[in-house]
Amino acid sequence: MARRQLSFRSRRNSGRALALWAIFFILALAIAPPVKNYFTQRAQISALNSQLVSDQKALDAARQELLLWQDPEYIKSQARERLHFVLPGERQYIVTGEGTSTDTEEGTKVATP
């Protein structure tokens, strides 16, 4: 009688490949959320660092302005410019327009910018 020899070798290799593929797939599913969280947190850290730099620049600018306001001459110049203050004995003139033009219809003078 002739013996039949069955070849299980190809079936066994495909089973191993399937098992190996399933293990890699499960590992990928297990690793994906922590990797996503890592990159999300790195992006947040980068955004916070850039915000920290801009806040530091704004703080330095505020400190420089504070130093300006501690100077009495600067305060005096700002009071003259912003509040139109004058020293005793001085006269202040406020010019509202550069020139005047005559309106031909009504004969009134209108300030031109």
Chain segment 10-45, per-residue pLDDT in tens: 556 788 899 999 999 999 999 999 999 999 999 999
Q: Say if residues 111 and 96 touch (Cβ distance below 8 Å).
A: yes
* pLDDT at residue 14, as a whole number: 86
Helix (H, G, I), strand (E, B) or coil at 109: strand
What distance in Å separates the CA atoms of residue 82 and residue 65, rounded to the nearest whole number?
Answer: 16
Residue ranges of alpha helices (H) inside the chain are: 9-69, 72-83
Q: Which residue has the tokens 């920290």?
A: 52
* pLDDT at residue 97, as a whole number: 79
Q: What average pLDDT does this structure show over 83-107? A: 76
Note the pTM of the prediction, 2 decimals. 0.52
Confidence of residue 5 (pLDDT cuts 50, 70, 90): low
| Whole-Å CA distances, 90 to 8, 28, 84, 105 | 112, 82, 12, 40
* pLDDT at residue 100, as a whole number: 61
Q: What average pLDDT does this structure show over 58-77? A: 96
* pLDDT at residue 21, as a whole number: 94
What distance in Å separates the CA atoms of residue 47 and residue 26, rounded to the nearest whole number?
Answer: 33
Confidence of residue 7 (pLDDT cuts 50, 70, 90): low
What is the token pair recorded at 44? 């947040």
